[in-house]
Amino acid sequence: MLQPIKIRDEYQSIIQLQPDIIVTCAYGQIIPKELLDYPRLGCINVHASLLPKLRGGAPINRAIMEDFKTTGITIMYMDVKMDNGDIICQRKTDITDNDNLESLYNRLSLMGKDLLLEELPKIINGTNKRIKQDEDNVTYAYNIKREEEHIDFGKSSREVFNLIRGLSPLPSANAIIDDKEMKIYNSIISCDKYNGEIGEIVDVTKKGIVVKTGDGAIIITEVKPFSKKKMSALSYVNGIGKKSLIGKVFK
């Protein structure tokens, strides 16, 4: 397996290997046309979305953050544009509220491996399908920017919940409390109604730290305070005291 740091500077070394086929997965760089045109069986990409939805470098994050109910794996021929080539085959999976980035990534990785192994014999003997992508249905999954990792509690509880799990465990969502960044890894949407300022810690329950959102409240259950290790929210509460938290506001 090869992972060139800059494929445009290193592709000649791959051509020297005289590959019959090239397979990429989660690589994130545009392959030069000279390399795309070389293998007699083509260049194949395993992409973690149901193309043409979510082209780009963060399809798993975005599927969760944008509240998709299903996603999947696409095996496709590569061309000079990112995730633009003809589709060979696809396989779907549901996204549940118990999924986060890690669990969905792991499931899609296994699906991608299995689907590729099933499809490779057809690609080799030329019996695989080849379907043009519908450009009218294209959406993009751009790489996550640093500012997107910050939680806006003014959004709906569902949007906050999806952001947290769509970034967990890495790079992780964050919020500022006492002028320090806290990473937030897990949460639950509260069924109870609370009054308070957006971002305010309005309660601490057996489930975790309750924070006011734009349409209700979210219960934070797993955190990493600044300069400390990851811990349950209740362990954090036990360390600093419930009374000192109530009324504080996440910025």
> Tens-digit pLDDT profile for the chain (251 aa)?
778 888 888 889 999 999 999 999 988 788 899 999 999 999 999 999 999 999 999 999 999 999 999 999 999 999 988 899 999 999 999 999 999 999 999 999 999 999 999 999 999 999 999 999 999 999 999 999 999 999 999 999 999 999 999 999 999 999 999 999 999 999 999 999 999 999 999 999 999 999 999 999 999 999 999 999 999 999 999 999 999 999 999 99
Has residue 116 been placed in a domain? yes
**Per-residue confidence (pLDDT) for residue 4, from 0 to 100:** 82
Euclidean distance between CA atoms 114 and 55, whole angstroms: 21
Domain boundary among 70, 102, 137: 137
- Do 185 and 99 sit in the same domain of this protein? no
Has residue 34 been placed in a domain? yes
CATH number, position 155 = 3.10.25.10
- Do 133 and 11 sit in the same domain of this protein? yes
Has residue 157 been placed in a domain? yes
Has residue 23 been placed in a domain? yes
Is the pTM for the entire model greater than 0.75? yes
Has residue 183 been placed in a domain? yes
Question: How many independent structural domains does the chain possess?
Answer: 2
CATH number, position 123 = 3.40.50.170
**Per-residue confidence (pLDDT) for residue 7, from 0 to 100:** 86
- Do 172 and 111 sit in the same domain of this protein? no
Domain boundary among 118, 137, 156: 137
- Do 90 and 186 sit in the same domain of this protein? no
Domain boundary among 94, 115, 137: 137
- Do 20 and 80 sit in the same domain of this protein? yes
Q: What tokens does 250 get?
A: 């996440």
Query: By residue range, what is the domain housing residue 180?
Result: 147-245
- Do 92 and 57 sit in the same domain of this protein? yes
- Do 100 and 215 sit in the same domain of this protein? no
**Per-residue confidence (pLDDT) for residue 28, from 0 to 100:** 79
- Do 31 and 95 sit in the same domain of this protein? yes
CA nearest to 45, candidates 112, 103, 125, 106? 112
Has residue 94 been placed in a domain? yes
